[in-house]
Structure 1
């Protein structure tokens, strides 16, 4: 993914002003969006919903930058509902039931064979270990990836092995073709100057959790 949706490590967006005693939600509608996300979740069972982050990354860059955090969530949620046929365009526009649309039904969960996002109890050999010198591969996928753009091609040191997880990357259609190849996830330390050059502090480091497929020996 090479679009504005991967903003990690970028600058030029102005200062970060922490808000003292910041509320959980700044507006009441934000809490409603969060509640709606939880409420519609079970309706995704048995349906081909595009993954959460992939759907966010399909928002055109100009629109993405103009939307607030929970506006993006709302866009993602309504996209899922439209794609799966749970709501119609008319219902989204008016806020009222569409008499011409079929009544939505809750479906049973499907056995897709997906391994999920949690830690897996799998006996998989680890390619790397603590203190190994590695380099993040210079990958340019067209779909979603968990590899931050700013570490591509940069060298680091493996600090910890978090265990085995299913790779969460998608292709450009939102599918996870490599989901069924579980692999180790490592915490890798990158020196700040390796990432951002001499303007970074010589004493700073960044720790990034990376799937094994993202790494190669340095």
Structure 2
């Protein structure tokens, strides 16, 4: 069973409406702040990008459908901060606001992660560095460009029930061919749950649109998905 976020190609949600090319990067000022605080909290090193994605996926279905994009980010972040014991629910509610700023001022001990706080002067370098996920792996590639492959059925995370995966439901059981081998990368299904990086080969796989959906507006279109080796099987 997929979560509410796994909605790619689902019928009945209305058309996708791209924003104009001249649209501002952030529609509201607080959107930029939401992105900034999410990146700053990620720099504390208490979770990885896959853990963060899974936190947003785990939002209650009612919240997920009614929240805007950056509201989902903030809600997922709040969950992580409490789950990883970086802050308490009382902290997020502002109950501890009168006790000081957590930096050691006013007799309050600094937060254990204070030394890892992302300083303004370090932001540009941190963004330029990014978070590369390519890793060496003992798992040899099983496929080469041009090989026909099928996305495994059933889909879902095979390590954790209901866990994070990057195999979308609409591709489960679909047949395509290998376009490119990206090398070996961290497996999200493992990394999102603290089970280790488990790197394995990652491929760009091309699917005809009519292999994914029964009624396609343009049957000649193709969809390219980046998929890990354990998501695939030979045809």
Aligned to 1:211: 228
Matched-pair contact (CA < 8 Å) for 1:192–1:204: yes
Aligned to 1:22: 23
CA distance in 2, matches of 1:104, 1:155: 51
Aligned to 1:195: 212
Whether 2:142 is the aligned partner of 1:127: answer yes
CA distance in 2, matches of 1:11, 1:162: 31
CA distance in 2, matches of 1:183, 1:150: 22
Alignment of 1:64-75 (within 5 A): 64-75=64-75
CA distance in 2, matches of 1:97, 1:5: 34
Deviation larger for 16-25 or 117-126: 117-126
Aligned to 1:175: 193
Aligned to 2:167: 147
- 3-state SS of paired residue (1:39): helix
CA distance in 2, matches of 1:61, 1:158: 34
CA distance in 2, matches of 1:5, 1:37: 19
Aligned to 1:87: 87
CA distance in 2, matches of 1:162, 1:149: 22
Deviation larger for 116-125 or 63-72: 116-125
Matched-pair contact (CA < 8 Å) for 1:90–1:98: no
Aligned to 2:32: 31
Matched-pair contact (CA < 8 Å) for 2:145–2:180: yes
Number of corresponding residues: 207
**Cα–Cα, structure 1 residues 199 and 77, in superposed 2: closer, same or farther, change >3 Å?**
closer
CA distance in 1, matches of 2:171, 2:77: 30
Aligned-pair Cα RMSD in Å: 2.7
Q: Per-residue deviation at 1:88?
A: 2.2
CA distance in 1, matches of 2:58, 2:193: 13
Q: Per-residue deviation at 1:103?
A: 5.0
CA distance in 1, matches of 2:54, 2:145: 31
Normalized per residue, the structure richer in helix is 2
Structure 2, unmatched stretches of 5+, are: 103-108, 117-130
CA distance in 2, matches of 1:54, 1:162: 23
Aligned to 1:113: none
Matched-pair contact (CA < 8 Å) for 2:209–2:216: no
Structure 1, unmatched stretches of 5+, are: 110-115
Q: TM-score, normalised by structure 1?
A: 0.83
Whether 2:126 is the aligned partner of 1:106: answer no
